[in-house]
Amino acid sequence: MARIIVVTSGKGGVGKTTSSAAIGLGLALKGHKVVLIDFDIGLRNLDLIMGCERRVVYDFVNVINGEATLNQALIKDKRVSSLSILPASQTRDKDALNKENVGKVLEDLGKLYDFIICDSPAGIEAGAMMALYYADEAIITTNPEVSSVRDSDRIIGMLASRSRRAELGLEPIKEHLLLTRYSPKRVAEGEMLSVEDVEDILSIPLLGVIPESQAVLKASNAGEPVILDTESDAGQAYQDVIDRLLGETIDFRFLVVEKKGIFSRMFGG
């Protein structure tokens, strides 16, 4: 049975779409069948980050309305054949989705894929609720600052009260904390919350810490999810996230300010 994973946050602009793209592609590179769904109806970002924006013909809303079949709307990734993207509509508004039809689409996708990754819109309104409703797991994307942590806390409360699993009294949604845009230097300077601070406030298991990285912007502009940039710290941190999602235990990296480079160490700088 497919694992339905929502990438959510409450607060906007914290790195949900960046993370959805990296994680979706990363899982597919490991040989899993993955579909990425853009729930951010009206904004349509995921296809840009994935670099398939020119291949969108039909979208999620078309499928919901019966104007296109899933097969017509799904875009196969050019890099990895086991990955597909179901793009959001740019022209409809967020009320276009309803529980029943979304449930039907997820059920159909569940027969074809191992992982269904739902990129949630920001906020706590209908769109975000729809994205989390059917989830089995949630990746709560959080920046190390107070307002983002507060919003994540809010969303965690909603996972436990507004989801299908909550309504039916099933086992609760499995929560994962993903700390993004982490800057050890700014933490050391007291400008940002530390990993420990955030864990203490949210008290859910830590899935990963993605450092603030130039590589992310570069990757977005190129339409090549940052996980493909295996040299970059952010790419490696996302790779660790994939391994942890697949059940491995891996030490956390990029948590402290970089030691001096090898040259300055050798020459006693």
Partner 1 sequence: MAAARIEFKGSSFTLSVLHLKTATIADIRADLAKKVAQAPDFFYLVPIVVSIDKLNDDIDYQGIKTLIEEFNFTFVGFTGAISKEQRQLIRECGFSFVNTAKANTVKKTVLVEESVAEKPKAVIATPQRDLYTDKIHRGQIRSGQQVYAKDQNLVVIGSVSAGAEVIADGNIHVYGSLRGRAIAGATGHHKAQIYCQKLEAELVSINGNYWLSESMEEHWASPVYIQLTDNELTSSKLI
Ligand X SMILES: Nc1ncnc2c1ncn2[C@@H]1O[C@H](COP(=O)(O)OP(=O)(O)OP(=O)(O)O)[C@@H](O)[C@H]1O
User: What is the length of the chain?
Assistant: 269
Q: Applying CB under 8 A, which part among 20-28, 180-188, 196-204, 258-266 lies near partner 1?
A: 196-204
Identify the three-state secondary structure at position 118: strand
Region 125-184 residues binding ligand X, contact defined as CB under 6 A: 180-181
Q: Applying CB under 6 A, which part among 15-23, 52-60, 126-134, 249-257 lies near ligand X?
A: 15-23
Q: Is 181 in the site for Mg ion (CB under 5 A)?
A: no
* Of 34, 98, 37, 27, nearest in space to 66 by CA: 98
Q: Applying CB under 6 A, which part among 106-114, 124-132, 145-153, 206-214 lies near ligand X?
A: 206-214
Sheet of strand 83-86, all strands in order from the earlier edge strand to the far edge? 75-76, 83-86, 34-38, 115-119, 3-8, 137-142, 174-182, 206-211
Q: Is 187 in the site for ligand X (CB under 6 A)?
A: no
Q: Is 156 in the site for partner 1 (CB under 8 A)?
A: yes
Going along 144-221, which residue ranges are E strands?
174-182, 206-211
Q: Applying CB under 8 A, which part among 39-47, 84-92, 147-155, 256-264 lies near partner 1?
A: 147-155
Give the C-alpha distances (Å, rounded to integers) separating 24 from 115, 138, 148, 171, 267: 8, 14, 23, 24, 43
212 binds, among partner 1, Mg ion, ligand X, none (CB under 5 to 8 A by kind): ligand X
* Of 206, 248, 230, 247, nearest in space to 239 by CA: 230
Chain position carrying tokens 């409703």: 133
The pattern of x and - marking residues 53 through 72 that bind ligand X according to CB under 6 A reads --------------------
Going along 30-76, which residue ranges are E strands?
34-38, 75-76
The pattern of x and - marking residues 220 through 259 that bind ligand X according to CB under 6 A reads x-------------x-------------------------
Choosing from 9, 17, 62, 163, the residue that interacts with Mg ion (CB under 5 A) is 17
What does DSSP assign to residue 255? -
Could you list the residues that contact partner 1 (CB under 8 A)?
Answer: 124, 150-151, 153-154, 156-158, 160-161, 200-201, 203
Could you list the residues that contact ligand X (CB under 6 A)?
Answer: 9, 12-18, 40, 45, 122, 180-181, 210, 212-213, 216-217, 220, 234
